[in-house]
Structure 1
Amino acid sequence: MGALIAGILLWSVVHLVKSVAPGLRSAIRGKIGEGPHQGLVALLIISSIALMIYGWRTAQYEFVYDPPSWGRHLNMLLMVFAIFLFGAAQGKSQVKQFIRHPMLTGMLVWAGGHLLANGDSRSLVLFGGLGLWALISIFTVSRNEGPWIKPTETVTLGREILSFAIALVLYAILFGMHRFYTGIALAGPNATG
């Protein structure tokens, strides 16, 4: 469980430095330069993901709570919307007229959905930890940005439907690969959470 917690903390600290301690970020960038700073951030993020995957796969399963019977199915539906929100954050989207931080909101949907489907200790640590990070980030980034100014440029409904179709394809790929990066099959005879 130590590696899982370390990965979540590293991920959170690296991402929160920009919104919580922008002066520290600028100082580091000033000392080592823009390129090395970006490389260091990328290395730390990759390391945090590796720690989370390793920590997840090696952590002992311990029961914490009994998730609702419908939680697993709702989670599968919510993941489509989480992926769609991640994509909406990357460019123009009508979603940005309604959601200020689509990627962080997508992370909250991802975390909340998985907490509805899983009631073990490692799930609580991983999804609860990253959900908490996303919630803190929404508040700190919004505080730093000031009042919400909605984007003036959006996309057509057809383009938004295409984005949703792409999210469905990505969902299918991630669904099929889930057992390889988590050790948990979502379909078939060994399907769980």
Structure 2
Amino acid sequence: MSLLVAGILLWSATHLFKALCADVRARLIARIGEWPYKGLFALLIVASLVLMVSGWKATLPTALWQPPAFLRHVTMLLVPIAVILFISARAPTDIKRFIRHPQLTGVKLWAVAHLLSNGEIRSVVLFGGLLAWAVLEVIAINRRDGAWVKPGPVGATKTLISALIGLALAAVLVYAHPWLSGMPLLPRG
């Protein structure tokens, strides 16, 4: 469990550093250069992911509660929406006219969806931890950046293409879920 917690804390601290310590970050980039900074950032993110995956695998799935079966269906509905939001952050889409932080909103929705259908301690730590990080990240970014200036419209076609890409990625994630997490989502047959 300690590796899992360490991974979540490293992930959170690395990401929050940009929003909470903008001056320190700027001085660090000025001192070591932009590409070495990006390399260090990437290394810390990879290390946090390794810690989270290792911690997840090393932690026995101890049940806190047994979620009702219907919540699995709710999760299967919410995750594709979360993926669409996640994708829309980097794509031309009108979603950004309605949601200031679509990527972080997608992470929050993904985490909530997984908390609904997983009642074991390691799930609460992982998904609850990442949900807490995403909430704090939104607050920190909003404080740093000030008032939201909504982007201009890009049109229904680009928004639809982005949504279809998100749905396709969600389908790939459902199929790959056993290899990514060790948990099959679809019946074998």
The Cα shift of 1:149 comes to 0.8
Q: Write the distance in 2 (CA, Å) between the matches of 1:58 and 1:178.
A: 18
In structure 2, the residue matched to 1:147 is 147
| Conservation of the 8 A alpha-carbon contact between 1:4 and 1:51 | yes
Q: Write the distance in 2 (CA, Å) between the matches of 1:61 and 1:75.
A: 19
Q: Write the distance in 1 (CA, Å) between the matches of 2:134 and 2:165.
A: 24
The 3-state SS of whatever aligns with 1:54 is: helix
Q: Write the distance in 1 (CA, Å) between the matches of 2:155 and 2:30.
A: 41
| Conservation of the 8 A alpha-carbon contact between 1:53 and 1:181 | no
Structure 2 residue runs without a partner (length 5+):
none
In structure 1, the residue matched to 2:167 is 168
Structure 1 residue runs without a partner (length 5+):
none
The 3-state SS of whatever aligns with 1:68 is: coil
In structure 2, the residue matched to 1:36 is 36
In structure 1, the residue matched to 2:187 is 188
In structure 1, the residue matched to 2:46 is 46
The Cα shift of 1:68 comes to 3.1
**Which TM-score applies when normalising by structure 2?**
0.95
Q: Write the distance in 1 (CA, Å) between the matches of 2:135 and 2:65.
A: 22
Residue identity opposite 2:179 in structure 1 = F
The Cα shift of 1:184 comes to 0.6
Question: What is the root-mean-square deviation of aligned Cα atoms in Å?
Answer: 1.4
**Which TM-score applies when normalising by structure 1?**
0.93
The 3-state SS of whatever aligns with 1:186 is: coil
Q: Write the distance in 2 (CA, Å) between the matches of 1:142 and 1:2.
A: 31
The Cα shift of 1:66 comes to 2.9
Q: Write the distance in 2 (CA, Å) between the matches of 1:27 and 1:62.
A: 45
In structure 1, the residue matched to 2:20 is 20
The 3-state SS of whatever aligns with 2:50 is: helix
1:145-190 per-residue CA deviation (whole Å, 9 max, x = no partner) reads 11111012x3221221222111111111111111112111111259
Residue identity opposite 1:65 in structure 2 = W
The Cα shift of 1:142 comes to 0.7
The Cα shift of 1:30 comes to 2.3
Q: Write the distance in 1 (CA, Å) between the matches of 2:76 and 2:167.
A: 11
Q: Write the distance in 1 (CA, Å) between the matches of 2:72 and 2:20.
A: 35
Question: Aligned pairs, how many?
Answer: 189
The Cα shift of 1:89 comes to 0.4
1:118-139 per-residue CA deviation (whole Å, 9 max, x = no partner) reads 0100000000000000000111
The Cα shift of 1:91 comes to 2.8
In structure 2, the residue matched to 1:8 is 8
